[in-house]
Structure 1
């Protein structure tokens, strides 16, 4: 890392992945809280020898390079502390993760903290799991809640969540019609399989929905068995923390809130298999189905239909169904939004790239894969990206929302290339060509990359909120607000009409603007 790299980091300000500390007299004790927070969230960079002026505007005024005294001694102290395992639960740093960089003739220590693998989270300090575990939220470090701690501990178990034995839950709690519909699909895909001749309980044993422990003389349903095929009342009784909800908000008229909804209303047995079977046809019915024949059989399962099926499957197999939350599917005129409780076990970049899969609910994953739901070897998300790219629709957005303990997937079903290009650089060109016609090139050069991204967001998705932008950009809402102010000072007026939640943005040139 060089001096200009430090300036580039500081240009974006402190955020979810950057922390500055003055640290002139030695390694500050607060460094270890940030180390834990970065390791448990997205990873990040700590700069020792940089002081932040909270009232200053712009990089030159906001950050002051103070430098550290005796950089070599501080590096040695840092390594001695982290390797002793008395301060932190695990050392994630390699030699190249700690550097001394000369900035303005002063020494700045740069510490790059990687995101810890889910198998070794939580990372905590002071030998205190409950009080020494931190998370990163925008510009600060915060104690993890008990619920967040339990989630990380569960995730560290390689065998997944849904193998848990549920004492006192038996075959009496299974909705037999649901199980029979599943078995019919299984039989269609595997007509010669030996499991087809088994009784219901034995079949559930084979697919991981029921366990028999002869040593302890206990038997009963697993978490996977009850949630997938259980009767609604036992499911709600045991998992009262969880709700399943489908909302159709297409073709609304006037003050109408939704055009269709599937929730706990007593008309269906509330298990996950029924949820999938009810929701998937509703979700995909308006997607185009070209007429195609293979012999005498019509084939209309398009890549986009497969992608939606994959997205719904992913929402279930990656959800932390022991958290308080909602497994929600929303359908809009221009997008699908799928939300599931729990955070990502893998970095977003790795999920987009594919190649690895770390399902929380491995037995449910196997159950669904057996009837054609879900791809192998981590290829599911690339399948979604490929299907959307084929239609030139906007790239799907996978958004982690740590403050809500949930993950949101947005599948846009609009914006053809010829109407609104998917290429972000072309989008910005359209903003400048069609909206900001009279803003000078010299003024536009003052825009940072993040500010350009904000203009692109507003142009492509006018309904996007400031909070959603901060989540996409991984900075605080305050940072986004500061960018709004900077953009307006350049003569570009950003106006929010219709309210914070349900409104939309308009980009205008200010009258008499620069």
Structure 2
């Protein structure tokens, strides 16, 4: 796997995915802190045999073949030592020697560790040897971050815990009743509809028999779904759900709902339905008919509900600052405590469902809320793209307050005069006008005009930088490598972009006018 271009070494700089070290005296001790940091964050590449100039650019450090081979052998010997590193992550093909005029470079590709192996720590010291990456540097993780990673190692989610100090009678009866009504609507023929309350709670996973006393108690998932906030706080002291609506700048909040106001149960189930109604009411609904009936539930409404459900499924309710949903004139923001268990790129791509609260997700899915196949977030992205809105943004914040933030813009961004003057926008629109006339292209004109801002930015950049790599495109446009790959693939399918030659040595060609 060769993702590093030796010929362009002078243009590289250290960042949160790249670390360079001269390594003239052997393996640097600080390299292992970076190894831990990359493994616990996004992954990255460690370059040995690379020196940093005063202007922060790189140059080969002059290692010869023998020195580089010795570094590689030392790396494998050390990384295999469990008293030094808790997990071996790279495979042989991901530790490679790269030739350059200024010397040989050893490139070590460190992947993000699977959550079952996080935290990755060094020197056999969990609490002092666990690091994460922030910007260009590594920082030692706090105890709270480490405990959170350890908690996430559980195979079936963290909400399966049986809460022995509570009984089913501590749950909110009205929330259970409302849930059962929705369940009956979704599953009218289910035998569970005839069950008494406690057997029903056990059937859906809201309660389980304790191994300690042999009695039925709520699970954490059941308490989150149907408990009262004051009982949930006994298990999760930082638990908090907060909806903030700020649609009028003259007042602080135009509406607010939070779990500690004493006006309602404060549980996740009731919060979802209160907030989903408020969020979908602010969306502009296009006038459409299904026969003689107006259609008020659009794909955007469904996408917003999916975003809210995803936020609640993946929240770390033991984490700090709670769940915060913000409704603003130009955007919707969903914040939850905890990082993304599958990583940002996999979350964006979909196909892997690994919720932090599998029990909560299952109970919602039983009433037809939430996508269990790992396609929920990609569906949100697709819906926003079809609406011609800016691409949703996913941000993962690390530190004492780990958070995942999903932002959905509600307004199209205006193209600046500078961007319009480059001629690419009009060419793209001309291509969109003609695209329906191409006999070998099945993309409709409406779909071609539905390019997101990031897709247009990618086209603009590669039009003037045809030899750009995915990393360079992403850096210029301000998106991740996976997003670049998705956009270029989509643009090629639409007939707007073509790849000439191989992935490593080829170039891009923007197809406009009558070009094919």
Displacement of 1:68: 3.2
Cα distance in 1 for residues equivalent to 2:10 and 2:278: 47
1:424 maps to which of 426, 443, 454: 454
The answer to whether the 8 A contact 2:390-2:453 is kept is no
Q: Residue in 2 aligned with 1:478?
A: none
**TM-score (ref. length: structure 2):** 0.78
Unmatched tracts of structure 1, length 5 or more: 432-440, 458-468, 474-514
Question: What is the RMSD of the two structures over their aligned residues, measured on CA atoms?
Answer: 2.9
Q: Residue in 1 aligned with 2:252?
A: 257
The answer to whether the 8 A contact 2:413-2:453 is kept is no
1:402 maps to which of 394, 398, 403: 398
Residue 306 in 1 paired to residue 330 in 2? no
| Deviation string, structure 1 residues 46-65 (Cα, Å, up to 9, x no partner) | 11122224xx3363xxx343
SS at match of 2:105: strand
SS at match of 1:360: coil
* Higher mean displacement: 155-164 or 74-83: 74-83
Cα distance in 2 for residues equivalent to 1:429 and 1:225: 49
Displacement of 1:291: 5.1
Displacement of 1:399: 1.1
Cα distance in 2 for residues equivalent to 1:173 and 1:295: 47
Cα distance in 1 for residues equivalent to 2:105 and 2:229: 59
Structure 1 segments (4+ residues) deviating >6 Å: 1-4, 416-421, 428-431
Cα distance in 1 for residues equivalent to 2:293 and 2:395: 39
Superposition pairs for residues 315-464 of structure 1, below 5 Å? 315-403=311-399, 404-415=401-412, 422-424=452-454, 426-427=456-457, 452-453=476-477
The answer to whether the 8 A contact 1:16-1:137 is kept is yes
Displacement of 1:298: 5.5
Q: Residue in 1 aligned with 2:200?
A: 203
SS at match of 1:339: strand
Cα distance in 2 for residues equivalent to 1:97 and 1:11: 22
> Would the alpha carbon gap of residues 286 and 103 (structure 1) be closer, same or farther in structure 2, given more than 3 Å must change?
same
Aligned length: 438
| Deviation string, structure 1 residues 375-396 (Cα, Å, up to 9, x no partner) | 1311111211121122111111
Q: Residue in 1 aligned with 2:507?
A: none
The answer to whether the 8 A contact 2:458-2:473 is kept is no
| Deviation string, structure 1 residues 206-246 (Cα, Å, up to 9, x no partner) | 11111113674243111111111112321233322121111
Cα distance in 1 for residues equivalent to 2:238 and 2:211: 31
Cα distance in 1 for residues equivalent to 2:349 and 2:413: 23
Displacement of 1:5: 0.7
SS at match of 1:106: coil
Cα distance in 1 for residues equivalent to 2:308 and 2:454: 27
* Higher mean displacement: 191-200 or 305-314: 191-200
> Would the alpha carbon gap of residues 234 and 82 (structure 1) be closer, same or farther in structure 2, given more than 3 Å must change?
same
Displacement of 1:104: 3.0
Q: Residue in 1 aligned with 2:427?
A: none
Q: Residue in 2 aligned with 1:511?
A: none
* Higher mean displacement: 395-404 or 337-346: 395-404
SS at match of 1:242: coil
The answer to whether the 8 A contact 1:398-1:408 is kept is yes
Residue 57 in 1 paired to residue 42 in 2? no
SS at match of 1:45: strand
Cα distance in 1 for residues equivalent to 2:309 and 2:387: 21
**TM-score (ref. length: structure 1):** 0.79
Cα distance in 2 for residues equivalent to 1:3 and 1:166: 48
The answer to whether the 8 A contact 2:115-2:341 is kept is yes
The answer to whether the 8 A contact 1:48-1:109 is kept is yes
> Would the alpha carbon gap of residues 323 and 306 (structure 1) be closer, same or farther in structure 2, given more than 3 Å must change?
same
Displacement of 1:424: 3.4
* Higher mean displacement: 382-391 or 313-322: 382-391
Cα distance in 2 for residues equivalent to 1:163 and 1:101: 48
